[in-house]
């Protein structure tokens, strides 16, 4: 598994780095990689949310017997494990591959950052959809953009922190 991750991550890093030269004057390679990989995962997130909300749940409430969850919140909950796992692996092996922290420490810290971001996402969806009546998919997109900044700073300086200076 580790060998597969190394090969795949190098292949993905080569693709990302191929697009870097025009942005060299404006940002570091790490920031570009983070943005590129994050954008890929964000688009995957949006597509997955759209598919789950529209085709799996078909805009209907999710009744679990003991609780009923609105479709836009249920779609959020259903997409999360998949998106978190893909995001962690891509950031660990492509963007922050120089971090010397153990994988389990990185994963634990990544999950802490994730919980903070998902809390922001949950509250934002409740406010935008339930109180202001905005459409769920664009609301999810808007909130995602807000959490990107929080996520980059947290991941660089906490989750995948270098042991001797960043």
pLDDT at 150: 85
pLDDT at 164: 61
Neighbours of 131 (CB within 10 A): 8
For the chain, 166 residues long, give each residue's pLDDT as a single digit of tens. Answer: 677 777 888 999 999 999 999 999 999 998 899 999 988 998 999 999 999 999 999 999 889 889 999 999 999 999 989 999 999 999 998 999 888 899 899 999 999 998 998 899 899 999 999 999 999 989 988 998 888 888 888 999 999 988 665 4
Instruction: Identify the three-state secondary structure at position 166.
Output: coil
Greatest CA separation for the chain = 56
Q: Report yes or no: 151 and 109 within 8 Å, Cβ to Cβ.
A: no
- Number of alpha carbons in the 13 Å side-chain half-sphere of residue 6: 4
pLDDT at 6: 79
User: What whole-number distance in Å separates Cα of residue 141 and Cα of residue 144?
Assistant: 5
Counting Cβ atoms within 10 Å, is residue 87 exposed (0-12), middle (13-18) or buried (19+)? buried
């Amino acid at each position: 598994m580790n060998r597969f991750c190394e090969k795949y991550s190098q292949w993905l890093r080569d693709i990302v780095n191929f697009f870097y030269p025009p942005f060299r004057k404006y940002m570091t390679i790490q920031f570009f990689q983070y943005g590129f990989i994050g954008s890929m995962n964000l688009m995957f997130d949006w597509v997955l949310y759209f598919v789950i909300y529209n085709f799996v749940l078909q805009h209907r409430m999710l009744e679990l017997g003991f609780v009923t969850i609105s479709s836009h919140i249920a779609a959020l909950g259903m997409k999360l494990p998949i998106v978190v796992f893909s995001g962690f692996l891509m950031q660990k092996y492509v963007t922050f591959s120089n971090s010397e922290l153990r994988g389990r420490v990185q994963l634990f810290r990544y999950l802490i950052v994730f919980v903070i971001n998902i809390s922001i996402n949950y509250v934002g969806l409740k406010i935008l959809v339930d109180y202001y009546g905005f459409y769920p998919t664009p609301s999810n997109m808007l909130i995602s953009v807000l959490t990107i900044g929080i996520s980059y700073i947290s991941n660089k300086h906490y989750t995948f922190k270098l042991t001797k200076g960043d």
